[in-house]
Amino acid sequence: QVQLVESGGGVAQPGKSLRLSCAASGFIFSRHAMHWVRQAPGKGLEWVAVIWDDGSSKFYPDSVKGRFTISRDNSKNTLYLQINNLRADDTAMYYCGKDESAAGTSFVASWGQGTLVIVSS
């Protein structure tokens, strides 16, 4: 069955960087677009990035554009999210999600358990 396992979260200082990873298994990773979605403590869901199956296209909301970079290594079945210049409002649980489309977005069928990022001095 589909498994998505995030890692790389933790406590980091404002202004620093973090790289989150999402290890995928149970499906053909290279045939699916992948997302990152975050959830601040006690708040709702916020989409932060998507990447096409072959990595050819990436999209972000304005709120994170320029600081967040999504990437993938299809040879390792792994998705990444680089977060630079961390801010307090980046504190959240970060989930990766599998889209049913390859290039484009249709629906996020599977979600990982999340990795928690806390930005604090």
Binding region for another protein (CB under 8 A)? 35, 37, 44-47, 50, 59-62, 95, 97, 99-100, 105-114
Helix (H) or strand (E) holding 39: strand 34-39
Q: CB of residue 87 vs another protein: minimum separation in angstroms?
A: 18
CB-nearer residue toward another protein: 27 or 111: 111
Q: Tokens in use for 33?
A: 């677009």
CB-nearer residue toward another protein: 16 or 31: 31
Q: CB of residue 39 vs another protein: minimum separation in angstroms?
A: 9
State residue 89 phi and psi, 5-degree precision: -80, 5
Residues shown for the chain: 121
